[in-house]
Structure 1
């Protein structure tokens, strides 16, 4: 579904975020991207829907070269890709319904969405998306009145309302408490399993990657240094493998929360 071929990204200040990345992600996978802050995880995600452009190389989405796509072709690709951010990226002064309906803007002329002229069908899609994340009762609430976990669920519902084939989650639980973290990750896994939506999530916590993902990809200094299916992980070698990602020895209690 997604293929990186020799992809590099250098920012204007000279920072080399990704270096000659080659990576394939199959449809229906739940891929967790792990690594230290600044390793290039967020850059990798944002290149897929061209929120930022690649410096070199090629990125394909379902056979379409998104690195050269523009206009209608790029808009069509982006319509198929939902994105969830660490900071939620919802309009707090707007209602929950308005926020979720913003996931439908790519399906209508700009002037209609500016005026809020969404058809009843779109509202039904929004209601169903909110129901999927158990927050339908807040549909008419102001987003600013919600807790952080509730706001993130609204963000997931907005992405679902796009009816995407791919979900990108950039540190979706980094600002949430442990209980809410589990709830949000449960929703992402349920959506992946039940709807078959390919999911790629940047995660700080390796234990979450092991619990929810079907595959773990490790990034270090812009390189892919680790890539394994969860089912193929051998506990005896796992901690040594993670040293490739984090640059130091990793202990069981850091990864699995064990005493």
Structure 2
């Protein structure tokens, strides 16, 4: 089992309970979408899986390791095997795109090599190839401040693709993109996961994208798993319950396109 959470709870420093008694089991090579209303705990769950947050109780097992029973150095090595795509990638405005992408390997390179890379990019072809998969090959030497929000999100994804992790976690990775580009980007992530047998877990606000691209859907509500089902079993009633009491109407179950059916992960 690649990702294994047992009775995990998490309360943030401000007293807000993010997760409560979560059990979650995701096998190697699975592709899973997490959906749910704002504040449901989706980002907290992904950060727990990335070992960026420590649970208040329960056990977190990632890639066969009990993350919080490891030493700090061992946990750092584990993190190098995990890729996390942020909704708003932490990219310095004046940093060049190529440097941002190559930073995906910093957890695997030594200090001297990482420092040299800041002065002289060490793998131009590798960075260009990762960006080209997301239609950003022409932005290789641009500064991050010259890019749109959607382009910055794709740079963040390219960095994780270049990292080549065994577990790829994505927190609202396409929220700044138009629907067509979002669909294309998720297809790229899913294809990469299949080709390299990477375990992919993505939180998504757009339910239609989750159901179109992922075969397993986890609904999270009030910090607990509301349902964990194949996408084909997620219907209007489940979505109404998941998004109950939201000010906006719950997202509809999408109708398959008339001409093209997007393959699921």
TM-score, normalised by the number of residues in structure 2: 0.87
**Kept in 1: contact 2:91–2:100 (CA 8 A):** yes
Matches of 1:204 and 1:171 in 2, distance apart? 7
Query: Which residue does 1:38 correspond to in 2?
Result: 39
Query: Which residue does 1:205 correspond to in 2?
Result: 206
Query: Which residue does 2:252 correspond to in 1?
Result: 254
Question: Which ranges in structure 1 are unaligned for 5 or more consecutive residues?
Answer: none
Matches of 1:117 and 1:173 in 2, distance apart? 28
RMSD: 2.4
Determine helix, strand or coil for the equivalent of 1:210. helix
**Kept in 2: contact 1:104–1:122 (CA 8 A):** no
* Pair 1:233-2:250 in alignment: no
Q: How many residues align?
A: 254
Q: CA 1:163–1:253 in structure 2 vs 1: closer, same or farther (change >3 Å)?
A: closer
**Kept in 2: contact 1:86–1:171 (CA 8 A):** yes
Q: 1:53-72 to 2 correspondence within 5 Å?
A: 53-72=54-73
Question: Mean Cα displacement is larger for which, 117-126 or 173-182?
Answer: 117-126
Matches of 1:44 and 1:204 in 2, distance apart? 15
Matches of 1:115 and 1:135 in 2, distance apart? 24
**Kept in 2: contact 1:49–1:77 (CA 8 A):** no
Matches of 2:249 and 2:101 in 1, distance apart? 41
- How big is each residue's C-alpha offset from its partner over 1:96-141, in whole Å with a ceiling of 9 and x where there is no partner? 1100111111122234423436898644432332232232222112
Query: Which residue does 1:186 correspond to in 2?
Result: 187
Question: Which ranges in structure 2 are unaligned for 5 or more consecutive residues?
Answer: 257-265
- How big is each residue's C-alpha offset from its partner over 1:191-234, in whole Å with a ceiling of 9 and x where there is no partner? 2222222111111111111101120001111110100122x526
Query: Which residue does 1:155 correspond to in 2?
Result: 156
Determine helix, strand or coil for the equivalent of 2:106. helix
Q: CA 1:154–1:22 in structure 2 vs 1: closer, same or farther (change >3 Å)?
A: same
* Pair 1:125-2:126 in alignment: yes
Query: Which residue does 2:263 correspond to in 1?
Result: none
Question: Mean Cα displacement is larger for which, 116-125 or 126-135?
Answer: 116-125
| More helix per residue | 1
TM-superposed CA distance for 1:257, in Å, is 6.7
**Kept in 2: contact 1:205–1:255 (CA 8 A):** no
Question: Mean Cα displacement is larger for which, 171-180 or 35-44?
Answer: 171-180
Question: Mean Cα displacement is larger for which, 181-190 or 208-217?
Answer: 181-190
Matches of 2:203 and 2:84 in 1, distance apart? 12
* Pair 1:2-2:3 in alignment: yes
Matches of 1:117 and 1:48 in 2, distance apart? 29
- How big is each residue's C-alpha offset from its partner over 1:48-81, in whole Å with a ceiling of 9 and x where there is no partner? 1221111010110121001322322111211111
